[in-house]
Structure 1
Amino acid sequence: MSSQTVVLASPPVAAQTKFDVTRPIAKFHPCVWGNHFLNYTPSDEEVVTERKMELESLKLEVRKELLKIADRPLESMKLIDAIERLGVSYHFEKEIEESLKQAYDAYKKNDQDSSLDLYHTSLSFRILAQHGYYVSSEIFSKFIDEHGSFIGSLKSDIMGLLSLYDAAYLRGNGDTIMEKALEFSVVHLKVVAMEKDHPLAPQICRALVYPIHKGVVLIESRHYISFYEKQPFHMRSLLRYSKLEFNVRQSLHKEELKDLTMWWRSFEFPKTFPFIRDRVVEAYLNSVSVFHDPKFSVARVVYTKAFLLLTVLDDIYDSYGTIEELEAFTKAIERWDKSTIDELPSYMKLFYEIQYDSYKQFEDDVATLGIKNYVQYAVKEVITLSKAYLQEARWCKMKYVPTFDEYFQNAIKSSATTLMVVVSLLFNYVDETDAKKTFESVSKNSKPQRATCIIGRFMDDLVDYEWDKHRDHVVGGVDCYIKQHSVSEEKAFEAINMMVENAWKEINEEIFESTTTIAKPLLPYIYNFCRIMDYVYKNENGYTIVSQRMKDTIKLVFIEPLSI
């Protein structure tokens, strides 16, 4: 990916100025999917009806099994774990919650039960904790020796180690037991991962890169189906149900992608704004990661459109606009009034109208669902974001390297995570009182939202560090950290990575906070946003530069159906 500063005598829209303008254009590669999703044709109605009938029958079998073993906590935990990993838990929420209540009651009566092995103890801890049931990490004390380390013989319990590893990612700050659990399990799982003939090696290799707690449900369920199928005692009806449900969801995703591509093409974005990232499919992957349940079709579409508009906005500030244009553009966005944009360059005027009209349409989209309109909170975040982008543009123009503290205060706003979290919450508040409390706390960067911003902003900074060196771009968090703390690049990377890990711990702690600023049912959407950020920015910027890893993932989840 190359980048350069070019002089455009003829800007892509109508000419905006009387003079040639030097613009810091980043040469983003075009969309890699062509017309693939525009060519989608739905399945025959008769075939769809047959699938639905079989799905209902299989769903009933799984539900019966859940109810049958509800009073047997260990069996329940294993089945719930499989259902969640296979990506179909949204169909069994009531049954899962009832089973967990019984399991938690059993745990409270037998929390010192020394008969539970490492696998079941770790599984129970993780499943209960991720559903908001407080379980102390002290339950692992029985696996720790007199020196404070995990007992060495546990290294031969591979299923137990993997389960312990999965559980350790729910740790909070200062939880030394779970820190030791993570360190111990990683060391020994890496050994097993190198044993090519070990039946668990593929699953362990996947887990070491993509821990389940940070995993995107749609992506990880696609991989887990293959692992589950190879388990000797898997539930056949659940496996078939998961495969059929995956294919039905995939058809829905193809249909939504077709509609979104048509919407994007209707504005001729790539032609009218050739300096932007053309990433409809990649933006949609973000929305599906946040809204996995098929019933959230409207939410996925609105979220994707908001994400694409955000991309264009970012690229205007980052890769095209002059500082003079951006100053005027920001003031216009602050006014949020189409009647006051006559002085803007034509390309900005056109995008302003598209963005303004789209957010008006979002209000109508929300109204169709019969829920209260809180789109004004998203508009407020667009304004906040624009002002933060302008600050970065000013720093870039001045060649100014802020201190890390200065950068951090602006980065929390420029990360765009607050805007997208607000958009996701438009469809998920519990009641009006909780909604206002939640939207206001998100806007004020409450603890979980601040942590979310850190994850999104600084993972991006780390993977963009080398590329940003070669273009006219504001310095990122790494350079600012080096400046303030007089450390090497390596030390700066270590410190920022630690900030990201601590942010995950802060969100984990929110699960059990009695005075949380965000309604508990909304936390999964915060987690889901962080999960897709972790996936996209895993050692690369998978959104800006669509790597082979991202292409393979998109093919798996949106293009290639499972064989039944």
Structure 2
Amino acid sequence: MALQLYQVVSTQSIFVLCKPKQHLPQTLKHHRRQQLSIQCVSKTEVSQPDSRMVYQPTIWSDVFIKLLDASISINYERVNELEQKVRSLLNPDSENGSLSVLQVLENIDDIERLGLGYRFQNDIIRALSIIADRNIVKIGEKEDSVYEASLKFRLLRKHGYNVSQDFVRRFKDSRGDFMGVLKTDLKGLINLYEASYLAFEGERDLHEAKLFATQYLPNFKGREYGAHELINHALELPLYRRMLRLEARWYIDAYGKREDANILMLELAALDFNMVQSQLKTELQELSKWWKNIGLASKLSFVRDRLMECFFWTVGMVFEPQYYSCRVGLTKVGALITVIDDIYDVYGSLNELKIFTDAVKRWDITAIEHMPEYLQVGYRALFNTVTELCFNTPIALPILAKEWGDLLEAFYVEAKWTHNKYIPTLEDYMNNAWRSVSGVVILSHGYFLINKEMKKDTIESFEKYHELLKWSSTIFRLCNDLGTSPDEIKQGKTANAISCYMHANRVCEEVAREYIKDLIDEAWRKMIKAQVACSQESGDPFIDMAINLARLSHCTYQYGDGHGAPDARAKDRVVSVIIEPVKIRKKEHL
């Protein structure tokens, strides 16, 4: 029979609580591997976990989704007209003479933040190529301000150019300190801050720039009009780590408040956002029918019903209209992962989970005969859905089946840890956890869904993305643990990054969380390095998908478990991206 959910860890828990929070020592930020001297007091009692886990029901019923109004009235001639006018803002050719390099960079930045980058992808690539090839406009040369140099560095590295961090040194004095004038340059400081988050491992100058900008940006609050919102937005989460559609929605509003806003660009952004959203509603309605027909939420009452949240994840990974089939497929994958994760976490006995794991690793439909009914329901849904997704690309099925087998093997390892009340070392935990978080399975499906022309070299080229998958999944795992660990500790689940570090180092949760945040920063630096390396060989949109998975991890888990236990903040995110259109503010043309 099914295993009772979560045994009591121990009456003498290894977990500890910090004393009332004080200012953390500065060494925490700079020397994360040193033992940190924050006093803790022992917590000797762990609350009894419930014998049955009950997840909150979905707030997005199939009736609500069915009644969504996906119709929209769009003047496509106006959209085309606006697109041509905005395209003219991306020409840095010297023969034109009307636009400086800085103006083109600013236009690229605004276009991308407004969510329009996919419409002008070729124009942006061409413009950045011209800028990168002009040796007379090297980053950090005397004519560059810190604002221009930082903006140029960020956009070039974001698009895969292996540009140097050396520009930072030009804004330091003879003693190696940042020039005092930068402390009063809001525009320069905020762009230096954003650029610093695209650092590689070991780029010390960019690390120092981040610390400097983070220290002095708060001083501008209240001193300049509109600065408070911009600074809070940046310090809450840097631009490069933000979900693209949420950022577009926020920036449409923020950009519209600027006196120097290009009204044509703003109008196009609002129209485009609503056009994309209309298509997303149609896709969601199609997926809702599939979810209801497959019946997993109704047949398995103990699992999370999270179709909307899975669709939101998929939109965050790949929102562009042309990738409709990829979005639909990935949402199905995400929903299956959520259900199977709950089978391993809250219901299955170890013997039953072993049978299920071995069956998936063999990808053998006849193995269903030896499973209890609830596992048959899950296995049949998994087998049929993945096989259907590979109908047009059968060459991908063996690869995806293996990834599913590896994922469930990782699930099984964690189930054994919980059953045996075993707390692994952080290293052992992470060797398993970067796979158990499911990022590799999600991205593997994404790769084959986004590359419709499947050839032998397409299969072979997938292997070169290993580092990108690993570090994106590592960020996913660590963000997930930061958001879910408080509930998991209460439930008796012994293995997560927080508890493993607390146990090994005998420190309190506050210290462990700061350490894990440092590991996330480190993983980002390694992922960006992998991104640039991959971009040198190809412009595969899959690279962006992997980066977007890491961005979604911050979005979902920054303030708690936005997937397992979505709160009002999570609901607002869904509403702003998928449900509520942008209001079109008609203004006179420039």
Asked if TM exceeds 0.5, the reply is yes
- Tell me whether 422-431 or 215-224 shows the greater mean CA deviation: 422-431
Provide the secondary structure at the position in 2 that maps to 1:426: helix
Amino acid paired to 1:389: F
Contact in 2 for aligned 1:434/1:519 (Cα 8 Å): no
Distance 1:463 1:187, change over 3 A: same
Is the CA contact (8 Å cut-off) linking 2:65 and 2:284 kept in structure 1?
Answer: yes
Check the 8 A contact 1:24/1:472 in 2, yes or no. no
Give the residue type in structure 1 aligned to 2:84. L
Residue 417 of structure 1: aligned partner? 439
Match of 1:309 in 2: 336
- 2:290 is matched with 263
- 1:134 maps to what in 2? 162
SS in 2 for 1:292: coil
Looking at structure 2, the residues matched to 463 and 119 of structure 1 have their Cα atoms a distance apart, in angstroms, of 34
Look up the match of 2:203.
175
The one-character-per-residue Cα deviations of 1:417-467 (angstroms, maximum 9, x if unpaired) are: 11111111113459746532343355xxx3322212211112211222211
CA distance in 2, matches of 1:514, 1:552: 35
Give the Å deviation of 1:121. Answer: 1.0
In the alignment, what sits opposite 1:153? 181
Q: Of the candidates 254, 261, 266, which is equivalent to residue 239 of structure 1?
A: 266
Cα deviation digits, residues 106-162 of structure 1 (max 9, x gap): 256544521211111111111111111222111121111222221122111111111
> Are 1:201 and 2:264 an aligned pair?
no
Amino acid at match of 2:180: G
1:60 is aligned to: 84
**Equivalent residue letter for 1:291:** V
Residue of structure 2 aligned with 1:380, choices 393, 397, 402: 402
Output one character per residue of 1:246-276: Cα deviation in whole Å (capped at 9) or x when no partner.
0111111111111111111112222211111
**Residue segments in structure 1 that go unaligned for 5+ positions in a row:** 8-21
Aligned residue identity for 1:558: I
Higher mean displacement: 411-420 or 508-517: 508-517
Question: How many residue pairs end up in the alignment?
Answer: 534
Contact 2:274-2:582 at 8 Å conserved across structures: yes
Give, as a single letter, the amino acid of the residue that structure 1 aligns with 2:493: H
Partner of 2:449, secondary structure, is: coil
- Which residue of structure 2 aligns with residue 407 of structure 1? 429
Q: Which residue of 2 aligns with 1:10?
A: none
Distance across 1 between alignment mates of 2:78 and 2:454: 36
The 5-angstrom pairing of residues 413-452 of structure 1 reads: 413-429=435-451, 432=455, 435-441=458-464, 446-452=466-472
The answer for the alignment partner of 1:115 in structure 2 is 143
- 1:215 matched to which residue of 2? 242
Distance 1:165 1:491, change over 3 A: same
2:214 counterpart residue number: 186
Q: Which moved more, 1:507-516 or 1:458-467?
A: 507-516
Aligned to 1:553: 573
User: Is structure 2 residue 396 aligned with structure 1 residue 396?
Assistant: no
What TM-score do you get using the length of structure 1 for normalisation?
0.89
Instruction: Classify 1:373/1:289 alpha carbon distance in 2 versus 1 (closer, same or farther; 3 Å).
Output: farther
- More off after superposition, 127-136 vs 467-476: 467-476
Match of 1:321 in 2: 348
The one-letter code matched in structure 1 to 2:309 is E
- Provide the identity percentage: 28
Letter in 2 for 1:227: A
Deviations along 1:155-190, one digit per CA (max 9) or x if unpaired, are 111111111111111011111111111111111222
Corresponding residue of 2:31: none
- Residue 447 of structure 2 aligns to which amino acid in structure 1? L
Question: Structure 2 length normalisation: TM-score?
Answer: 0.85
Residue of structure 2 equivalent to 1:15: none
Q: CA deviation at 1:215?
A: 1.2
Cα distance in 2, alignment partners of residues 178 and 229 from structure 1: 31
Question: What letter matches 1:418 in structure 2?
Answer: V
Distance 2:483 2:537 in 1: 31
| Higher RCO by CA contacts (8 Å cutoff, separation 6 or greater) | 2
CA distance in 2 between counterparts of 1:526 and 1:520 reads 11
User: In structure 2, what is the Cα distance between the partners aligned to 1:509 and 1:6?
Assistant: 40
Give the letter aligned to residue 256 of structure 1.
E
Q: Could you say what the CA RMSD is over the residues aligned between the two structures, in angstroms?
A: 2.4
Distance in 2 between the 1:223 and 1:506 partners? 28
Q: Is the 1:438–1:517 contact (alpha carbons within 8 Å) kept by the matching residues of 2?
A: no
Bigger drift between 423-432 and 313-322 goes to 423-432
Q: Once the 2 structures are TM-superposed, how far is the Cα of residue 208 of structure 1 from its aligned partner?
A: 1.3
Aligned partner of 1:359 in structure 2 is 386
Please give the per-residue CA displacement for 1:58-90, whole angstroms capped at 9, x wherever unaligned. Answer: 111111332376763211111111110001111
Q: Tell me, which stretches of 5 or more residues in structure 2 are unaligned?
A: 8-48, 585-590
Distance 1:68 1:212 in 2: 25
Give the letter aligned to residue 439 of structure 1: F
- SS of the residue aligned with 2:491? coil
Say whether the 8 Å CA contact 1:192–1:198 is kept in structure 2: no
> Which range is displaced more, 132-141 or 484-493?
484-493
| Cα deviation digits, residues 467-523 of structure 1 (max 9, x gap) | 112214342122222333344333322222211110000011124437989976532
Confirm or deny that 1:40 pairs with 2:68. yes
CA deviation profile, 1:354-392 (whole Å, cap 9, x unmatched): 11110111013xx2xxx7742432221111111111111
Match of 2:42 in 1: none
In the aligned structure 1, how far is the partner of 2:264 from the partner of 2:439?
39
